[in-house]
Protein backbone atom coordinates (compact mmCIF):
# COMPACT_ATOMS: atom_id res chain seq x y z
CA UNK A 1 0.00 0.00 0.00
CA UNK A 2 1.46 3.36 -0.95
CA UNK A 3 1.42 6.46 1.25
CA UNK A 4 -1.35 8.13 -0.73
CA UNK A 5 -3.84 5.45 0.28
CA UNK A 6 -3.24 5.95 3.99
CA UNK A 7 -3.33 9.75 4.00
CA UNK A 8 -6.08 10.56 1.51
CA UNK A 9 -9.03 12.49 2.95
CA UNK A 10 -12.38 11.02 3.82
CA UNK A 11 -15.19 11.83 1.42
CA UNK A 12 -18.63 13.21 2.28
CA UNK A 13 -21.59 14.99 0.78
CA UNK A 14 -19.54 18.18 0.99
CA UNK A 15 -17.07 17.15 -1.70
CA UNK A 16 -19.04 14.47 -3.52
CA UNK A 17 -22.67 15.53 -3.71
CA UNK A 18 -23.50 13.23 -6.62
CA UNK A 19 -22.35 10.17 -4.67
CA UNK A 20 -23.76 11.04 -1.24
CA UNK A 21 -25.87 14.18 -0.92
CA UNK A 22 -28.34 13.29 -3.64
CA UNK A 23 -29.24 10.08 -1.77
CA UNK A 24 -29.23 11.55 1.72
CA UNK A 25 -32.97 11.75 2.25
CA UNK A 26 -33.48 8.23 0.92
CA UNK A 27 -31.80 6.69 3.95
CA UNK A 28 -31.36 9.35 6.62
CA UNK A 29 -33.90 10.89 8.95
CA UNK A 30 -33.77 14.29 10.74
CA UNK A 31 -32.94 13.09 14.23
CA UNK A 32 -33.75 15.54 16.99
CA UNK A 33 -35.82 17.90 14.87
CA UNK A 34 -38.28 18.22 17.76
CA UNK A 35 -35.50 19.75 19.86
CA UNK A 36 -35.19 22.45 17.21
CA UNK A 37 -38.96 22.96 17.20
CA UNK A 38 -38.88 23.39 20.99
CA UNK A 39 -35.99 25.86 20.75
CA UNK A 40 -37.91 27.95 18.23
CA UNK A 41 -40.86 28.11 20.61
CA UNK A 42 -38.73 29.00 23.65
CA UNK A 43 -36.84 31.62 21.64
CA UNK A 44 -40.09 33.27 20.58
CA UNK A 45 -41.28 33.33 24.19
CA UNK A 46 -37.98 34.77 25.43
CA UNK A 47 -38.15 37.54 22.82
CA UNK A 48 -41.83 38.21 23.44
CA UNK A 49 -42.79 37.27 19.88
CA UNK A 50 -45.41 35.08 18.31
CA UNK A 51 -44.01 32.07 16.46
CA UNK A 52 -45.36 33.65 13.28
CA UNK A 53 -42.91 36.53 13.66
CA UNK A 54 -39.81 34.36 14.05
CA UNK A 55 -37.14 34.42 11.33
CA UNK A 56 -35.07 31.23 11.00
CA UNK A 57 -31.67 31.03 9.29
CA UNK A 58 -30.84 27.44 8.29
CA UNK A 59 -27.06 27.65 7.86
CA UNK A 60 -25.65 24.65 6.03
CA UNK A 61 -29.19 23.46 5.32
CA UNK A 62 -28.12 20.70 2.92
CA UNK A 63 -31.10 19.07 1.26
CA UNK A 64 -33.54 20.66 3.70
CA UNK A 65 -34.82 17.51 5.39
CA UNK A 66 -34.75 19.08 8.86
CA UNK A 67 -36.53 22.21 7.70
CA UNK A 68 -39.19 20.19 5.89
CA UNK A 69 -39.90 18.11 9.00
CA UNK A 70 -40.06 21.19 11.26
CA UNK A 71 -42.41 23.04 8.93
CA UNK A 72 -44.58 19.96 8.58
CA UNK A 73 -44.85 19.74 12.36
CA UNK A 74 -45.99 23.35 12.64
CA UNK A 75 -48.51 22.99 9.84
CA UNK A 76 -50.02 19.92 11.50
CA UNK A 77 -50.27 21.79 14.81
CA UNK A 78 -52.01 24.79 13.19
CA UNK A 79 -49.11 27.22 13.58
CA UNK A 80 -46.24 28.37 11.38
CA UNK A 81 -42.93 30.16 11.70
CA UNK A 82 -42.62 33.59 10.12
CA UNK A 83 -39.80 32.99 7.66
CA UNK A 84 -36.96 30.66 6.65
CA UNK A 85 -33.65 31.63 5.02
CA UNK A 86 -31.72 28.75 3.42
CA UNK A 87 -27.92 28.87 3.25
CA UNK A 88 -25.59 26.25 1.82
CA UNK A 89 -22.38 26.00 -0.18
CA UNK A 90 -23.82 23.82 -2.93
CA UNK A 91 -26.48 24.85 -5.40
CA UNK A 92 -27.56 21.22 -5.93
CA UNK A 93 -28.51 20.94 -2.27
CA UNK A 94 -30.23 24.32 -2.26
CA UNK A 95 -32.40 23.21 -5.19
CA UNK A 96 -33.67 20.29 -3.11
CA UNK A 97 -34.06 22.39 0.03
CA UNK A 98 -35.99 25.07 -1.84
CA UNK A 99 -38.38 22.48 -3.28
CA UNK A 100 -39.18 21.29 0.25
CA UNK A 101 -39.57 24.66 1.96
CA UNK A 102 -41.28 26.69 -0.76
CA UNK A 103 -44.67 24.91 -0.55
CA UNK A 104 -45.08 26.12 3.04
CA UNK A 105 -45.09 29.76 1.94
CA UNK A 106 -42.43 30.95 4.40
CA UNK A 107 -39.30 30.94 2.23
CA UNK A 108 -37.62 34.35 2.57
CA UNK A 109 -34.27 33.75 0.91
CA UNK A 110 -31.98 31.16 -0.69
CA UNK A 111 -28.28 31.96 -0.42
CA UNK A 112 -25.43 30.00 -1.97
CA UNK A 113 -22.74 30.99 0.51
CA UNK A 114 -19.43 29.61 1.75
CA UNK A 115 -19.92 30.08 5.49
CA UNK A 116 -16.19 29.70 6.11
CA UNK A 117 -15.18 32.59 3.86
CA UNK A 118 -18.27 34.70 3.19
CA UNK A 119 -20.76 36.74 5.17
CA UNK A 120 -24.35 35.50 5.12
CA UNK A 121 -26.30 38.03 2.98
CA UNK A 122 -28.95 38.94 5.56
CA UNK A 123 -29.09 42.07 7.71
CA UNK A 124 -27.28 42.07 11.05
CA UNK A 125 -29.71 41.50 13.91
CA UNK A 126 -32.49 40.31 11.60
CA UNK A 127 -32.48 36.64 12.61
CA UNK A 128 -34.19 35.27 15.72
CA UNK A 129 -32.87 31.72 15.53
CA UNK A 130 -30.18 30.06 13.40
CA UNK A 131 -29.34 26.39 13.00
CA UNK A 132 -26.17 24.49 12.13
CA UNK A 133 -27.24 20.88 11.60
CA UNK A 134 -24.61 18.18 11.04
CA UNK A 135 -22.20 20.58 9.39
CA UNK A 136 -19.97 22.14 12.06
CA UNK A 137 -17.40 19.37 11.52
CA UNK A 138 -16.88 20.46 7.92
CA UNK A 139 -15.35 23.85 8.72
CA UNK A 140 -12.00 22.81 10.21
CA UNK A 141 -11.16 19.27 9.19
CA UNK A 142 -7.66 18.49 10.34
CA UNK A 143 -7.15 21.79 12.21
CA UNK A 144 -7.50 21.27 15.96
CA UNK A 145 -7.45 25.03 16.63
CA UNK A 146 -10.71 25.46 14.66
CA UNK A 147 -10.16 29.05 13.44
CA UNK A 148 -12.74 28.69 10.65
CA UNK A 149 -15.41 27.38 13.00
CA UNK A 150 -14.75 30.34 15.28
CA UNK A 151 -15.15 32.73 12.34
CA UNK A 152 -18.45 31.13 11.26
CA UNK A 153 -19.89 31.38 14.77
CA UNK A 154 -18.83 35.02 15.05
CA UNK A 155 -20.49 35.88 11.73
CA UNK A 156 -23.69 34.16 12.76
CA UNK A 157 -23.70 36.00 16.08
CA UNK A 158 -23.89 39.31 14.20
CA UNK A 159 -26.96 38.13 12.31
CA UNK A 160 -28.83 36.98 15.42
CA UNK A 161 -30.70 39.48 17.56
CA UNK A 162 -29.64 39.66 21.21
CA UNK A 163 -31.66 37.05 23.06
CA UNK A 164 -32.01 34.95 19.93
CA UNK A 165 -30.58 31.46 19.57
CA UNK A 166 -28.09 29.41 17.61
CA UNK A 167 -28.84 25.68 17.68
CA UNK A 168 -26.16 23.16 16.75
CA UNK A 169 -26.93 19.52 15.99
CA UNK A 170 -23.87 17.33 15.62
CA UNK A 171 -22.82 13.72 15.83
CA UNK A 172 -21.41 12.65 19.19
CA UNK A 173 -17.64 12.21 18.76
CA UNK A 174 -16.59 9.02 20.51
CA UNK A 175 -14.22 6.15 20.04
CA UNK A 176 -17.27 3.92 20.47
CA UNK A 177 -17.86 4.63 16.80
CA UNK A 178 -14.95 2.29 16.17
CA UNK A 179 -17.46 -0.53 15.78
CA UNK A 180 -17.10 -4.02 14.37
CA UNK A 181 -18.25 -2.75 11.00
CA UNK A 182 -15.40 -0.27 10.66
CA UNK A 183 -12.84 -2.72 12.00
CA UNK A 184 -13.99 -5.59 9.80
CA UNK A 185 -14.54 -3.63 6.61
CA UNK A 186 -11.34 -1.67 7.15
CA UNK A 187 -9.32 -4.84 7.52
CA UNK A 188 -10.94 -6.21 4.38
CA UNK A 189 -9.83 -3.07 2.58
CA UNK A 190 -6.24 -3.59 3.70
CA UNK A 191 -6.15 -0.75 6.23
CA UNK A 192 -3.94 -1.06 9.28
CA UNK A 193 -5.30 -0.29 12.74
CA UNK A 194 -3.96 3.27 12.73
CA UNK A 195 -6.05 4.03 9.67
CA UNK A 196 -9.30 2.50 10.93
CA UNK A 197 -12.08 4.63 9.37
CA UNK A 198 -14.11 4.42 12.57
CA UNK A 199 -11.41 6.28 14.46
CA UNK A 200 -10.99 8.82 11.67
CA UNK A 201 -14.75 9.32 11.55
CA UNK A 202 -14.92 10.09 15.28
CA UNK A 203 -11.94 12.44 15.18
CA UNK A 204 -13.38 14.69 12.48
CA UNK A 205 -16.06 15.92 14.93
CA UNK A 206 -15.02 18.68 17.36
CA UNK A 207 -15.33 17.80 21.04
CA UNK A 208 -18.44 19.19 22.73
CA UNK A 209 -16.42 21.16 25.28
CA UNK A 210 -14.54 22.81 22.43
CA UNK A 211 -17.78 23.76 20.67
CA UNK A 212 -19.06 25.31 23.91
CA UNK A 213 -15.84 27.31 24.33
CA UNK A 214 -15.99 28.58 20.74
CA UNK A 215 -19.63 29.63 21.20
CA UNK A 216 -18.83 31.52 24.39
CA UNK A 217 -15.92 33.29 22.67
CA UNK A 218 -18.30 34.30 19.87
CA UNK A 219 -20.75 35.92 22.29
CA UNK A 220 -23.20 33.15 23.17
CA UNK A 221 -24.37 31.64 26.44
CA UNK A 222 -24.85 27.88 26.18
CA UNK A 223 -27.88 26.04 27.51
CA UNK A 224 -27.78 22.41 28.75
CA UNK A 225 -26.99 19.86 26.05
CA UNK A 226 -29.82 17.65 24.82
CA UNK A 227 -28.88 14.15 23.74
CA UNK A 228 -30.45 12.60 20.66
CA UNK A 229 -30.93 8.84 20.87
CA UNK A 230 -32.81 8.05 17.67
CA UNK A 231 -31.32 5.98 14.86
CA UNK A 232 -29.51 7.93 12.16
CA UNK A 233 -30.64 5.51 9.46
CA UNK A 234 -34.36 5.52 8.71
CA UNK A 235 -35.96 2.77 10.73
CA UNK A 236 -37.76 1.25 7.75
CA UNK A 237 -34.39 0.70 6.05
CA UNK A 238 -33.43 -1.80 8.75
CA UNK A 239 -36.38 -3.99 7.74
CA UNK A 240 -35.52 -4.25 4.05
CA UNK A 241 -32.31 -6.19 3.21
CA UNK A 242 -32.00 -4.65 -0.25
CA UNK A 243 -32.38 -1.12 1.08
CA UNK A 244 -30.01 -1.88 3.94
CA UNK A 245 -27.41 -3.01 1.44
CA UNK A 246 -27.97 0.13 -0.63
CA UNK A 247 -27.65 2.25 2.51
CA UNK A 248 -24.44 0.45 3.37
CA UNK A 249 -22.96 1.26 -0.02
CA UNK A 250 -24.12 4.85 0.46
CA UNK A 251 -22.54 5.03 3.92
CA UNK A 252 -19.25 3.64 2.65
CA UNK A 253 -19.11 6.47 0.13
CA UNK A 254 -18.64 8.83 3.07
CA UNK A 255 -15.40 7.06 3.93
CA UNK A 256 -13.99 6.60 0.47
CA UNK A 257 -10.40 7.53 -0.12
CA UNK A 258 -10.53 10.18 -2.80
CA UNK A 259 -7.08 9.46 -4.22
CA UNK A 260 -7.45 5.68 -4.35
CA UNK A 261 -10.63 4.44 -5.99
CA UNK A 262 -9.44 0.85 -5.78
CA UNK A 263 -9.24 1.02 -1.99
CA UNK A 264 -12.75 2.46 -1.84
CA UNK A 265 -14.06 -0.34 -4.06
CA UNK A 266 -12.54 -2.98 -1.75
CA UNK A 267 -14.04 -1.22 1.25
CA UNK A 268 -17.49 -1.19 -0.38
CA UNK A 269 -17.10 -4.86 -1.29
CA UNK A 270 -16.31 -5.63 2.34
CA UNK A 271 -19.40 -3.86 3.56
CA UNK A 272 -21.62 -5.68 1.08
CA UNK A 273 -20.19 -9.02 2.19
CA UNK A 274 -20.82 -8.09 5.83
CA UNK A 275 -24.51 -7.50 5.13
CA UNK A 276 -24.97 -10.55 2.93
CA UNK A 277 -23.35 -12.81 5.54
CA UNK A 278 -25.78 -11.63 8.20
CA UNK A 279 -23.09 -9.80 10.14
CA UNK A 280 -24.97 -6.52 9.93
CA UNK A 281 -27.34 -7.70 12.68
CA UNK A 282 -24.42 -7.73 15.11
CA UNK A 283 -23.33 -4.29 13.93
CA UNK A 284 -26.83 -2.89 14.51
CA UNK A 285 -27.00 -4.48 17.97
CA UNK A 286 -23.66 -2.95 18.93
CA UNK A 287 -24.71 0.42 17.58
CA UNK A 288 -27.87 0.26 19.68
CA UNK A 289 -25.81 -0.40 22.82
CA UNK A 290 -23.58 2.63 22.53
CA UNK A 291 -26.37 4.82 21.17
CA UNK A 292 -28.53 4.15 24.24
CA UNK A 293 -25.57 4.95 26.47
CA UNK A 294 -24.29 8.20 24.97
CA UNK A 295 -26.71 9.14 22.21
CA UNK A 296 -26.20 9.29 18.47
CA UNK A 297 -26.02 13.07 18.36
CA UNK A 298 -26.60 16.12 20.51
CA UNK A 299 -28.40 19.44 20.22
CA UNK A 300 -26.77 22.46 21.81
CA UNK A 301 -28.73 25.72 22.09
CA UNK A 302 -26.73 28.91 22.60
CA UNK A 303 -28.38 32.25 23.37
CA UNK A 304 -26.93 35.41 21.83
CA UNK A 305 -25.73 37.52 24.77
Tell me the per-residue pLDDT of 5-34, one tens digit each, with 9 for 90 and over.
Answer: 333 333 455 555 665 666 677 777 788 899
pLDDT at residue 259, rounded to an integer: 43
pTM value is 0.80
Max Cα–Cα distance, the chain, nearest Å = 61
Tell me the per-residue pLDDT of 210-221, one tens digit each, with 9 for 90 and over.
Answer: 999 999 999 999
* Residue with more model confidence, 3 or 238: 238
Sign of the four-CA dihedral 249, 252, 257, 263:
negative
pLDDT at residue 253, rounded to an integer: 52
Residue 35 has pLDDT above 90, yes or no: yes
Decide if 156 contacts 166 (C-beta within 8 A).
yes
Q: Which domains does the chain have, with CATH numbers?
A: 3-304 (3.40.50.150)
Residues contacting residue 213 through CB under 8 Å, at least 6 positions apart: none
What residue spans of 54-177 are helical by DSSP H? 65-77, 91-101, 147-159
* Residue with more model confidence, 70 or 183: 70
- The mean pLDDT value of the chain amounts to 78
Tell me the per-residue pLDDT of 136-192, one tens digit each, with 9 for 90 and over.
Answer: 988 876 566 688 999 999 999 999 999 999 999 988 765 444 445 556 555 655 655
Burial class (CB in 10 A: 0-12, 13-18, 19+), 171: buried
Amino acid sequence: MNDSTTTAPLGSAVNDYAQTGSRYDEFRQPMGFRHLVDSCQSTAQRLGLDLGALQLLAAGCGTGNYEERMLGHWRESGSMIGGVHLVDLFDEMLVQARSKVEPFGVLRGVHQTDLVAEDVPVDDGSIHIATLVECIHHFDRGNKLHPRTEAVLSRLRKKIVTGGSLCIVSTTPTQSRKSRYYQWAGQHAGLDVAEDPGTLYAEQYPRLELVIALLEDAGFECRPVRRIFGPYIREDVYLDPERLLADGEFAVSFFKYARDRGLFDRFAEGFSALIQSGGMAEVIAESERWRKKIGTSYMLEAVAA
